[in-house]
């Protein structure tokens, strides 16, 4: 079937037609905006029968308003014209509709829907890869580990050999930990609030009296995020200890 007027499919799988293309095919002398206003006066509803959108004219590059209308509306507009071109357009749209509802096209659309679902599933698998690599349980867990334990985890699971001191350097360079002063190696408040770190107080007994110190812990959520960054930056099986 020759394509007299271009048709497309919207996200709902419905056939749609450009208002400007139909106007041009019908050879209407009236300016498009006036014609469209008059046509929509027959009871068609914005958002139900048609949808406005911005387009760029292919020749003068001017931005224009066009309307994507459903096939039923396009058939009615063609019939309203009471011209040979209107009759031709309506017959063409009936052929398009017949072809669209043929068993072959129904099967084709079903296969396209299935392919789309498979693609969405594959994308979700990739999106969730950080969980399958490191474990959803880790992020959901309330358990937090110190830097030394985290270094051992990423070495055992991903072969990233960074070492405890290098890990502290990396966290300071990335801005997660305070670089100097009395609070050196403590996590910054913003990352504690994000749930990536905890700061656990510890008491150190000394001859001159007990002293309170703090231990930086990485939460389950923080372990997942930092592992993801380390893998993207260095890859697995990396030796960064030297």
Per-residue pLDDT of the chain (242 residues; tens, 9 = 90+): 567 899 988 878 789 999 999 999 999 999 999 999 999 999 999 999 999 999 887 777 788 999 999 999 999 999 999 999 999 999 999 998 888 888 777 777 777 777 777 788 777 766 666 555 555 545 444 578 999 999 998 888 888 899 899 999 999 999 999 999 888 999 999 999 999 999 888 766 666 666 667 889 999 889 989 998 998 888 777 777 76
Contacts 24+ apart (CB under 8 A), 37-45: 39/77, 39/80, 42/76, 42/80, 44/69, 44/73, 44/76
What is the token pair recorded at 66?
A: 């066009």
What is the token pair recorded at 7?
A: 């048709």
How many angstroms separate the CA atoms of 44 and 37, rounded? 10
Whose structure tokens read 């959901």?
A: 140
How many angstroms separate the CA atoms of 211 and 165, rounded? 24
How many angstroms separate the CA atoms of 104 and 110, rounded? 10
């Amino acid at each position: 079937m020759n394509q007299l007027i271009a048709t497309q499919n919207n996200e709902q799988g419905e056939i749609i037609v450009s208002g400007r293309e139909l106007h041009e095919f019908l050879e209407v002398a009236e300016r498009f905006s006036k014609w469209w206003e008059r046509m929509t006066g027959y009871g068609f509803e914005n958002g139900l029968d048609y949808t406005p959108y911005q387009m760029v004219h292919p020749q003068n590059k001017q931005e224009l308003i066009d309307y994507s209308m459903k096939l039923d509306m396009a058939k009615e507009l063609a019939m309203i014209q009471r011209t040979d071109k209107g009759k031709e357009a309506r017959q063409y749209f009936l052929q398009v509709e017949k072809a669209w509802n043929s068993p072959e096209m129904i099967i084709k659309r079903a296969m396209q829907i299935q392919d789309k679902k498979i693609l969405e599933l594959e994308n979700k698998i990739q999106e969730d890869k950080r969980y399958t690599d490191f474990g959803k349980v880790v992020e959901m867990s309330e358990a937090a580990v110190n830097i030394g334990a985290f270094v051992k985890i990423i070495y055992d699971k991903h072969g990233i050999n960074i070492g405890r001191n290098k890990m502290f350097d990396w966290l300071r360079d990335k801005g997660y930990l305070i670089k100097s002063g009395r609070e050196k190696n403590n996590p910054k408040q913003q990352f504690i609030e994000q749930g990536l770190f905890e700061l656990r107080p510890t008491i150190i007994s000394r001859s001159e009296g007990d002293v309170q110190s703090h231990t930086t812990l990485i939460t389950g959520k923080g372990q997942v995020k930092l592992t993801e960054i380390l893998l993207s930056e260095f890859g697995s099986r990396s030796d960064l200890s030297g």
